[in-house]
Structure 1
């Protein structure tokens, strides 16, 4: 059984203190976050593809017929 990972939402506690952040640092951190999200998505797609592949191979060896829901 697969269990989805759930993150707690990012809260915004009011401190009353404003802090400036360098724009270059902010953009670089956003780029890294986007790259990390893309890597996770690619990994999930590979895992799903491997799972489908194994399902199809097992079905072919067990029955000798390729199921309809498998790619040709």
Structure 2
């Protein structure tokens, strides 16, 4: 079986480097697009609200204007 570059779950450990620096914005977008999800679908699957607020938060994570909490 080929190695998957998209993890089953995006954990904060996956989104940070060894020094704890946040690297997730590009990874979140890559995995979301790799799985064929919209920002709204990812928000819903992540436990955020499935309305416009959830989509906006995912957009902020992808653009680096907001960092997800643990």
Does TM, normalized by the shorter one, top 0.5? no
Which protein has the larger Cα radius of gyration, Structure 1 or Structure 2?
1
Question: TM-score under structure 2 normalisation?
Answer: 0.24
Question: TM-score under structure 1 normalisation?
Answer: 0.24
Which has a greater percent of helix?
1
Taking CA–CA contacts closer than 8 Å with sequence separation of 6 or more, which of the two structures ends up with the larger relative contact order?
A: 2
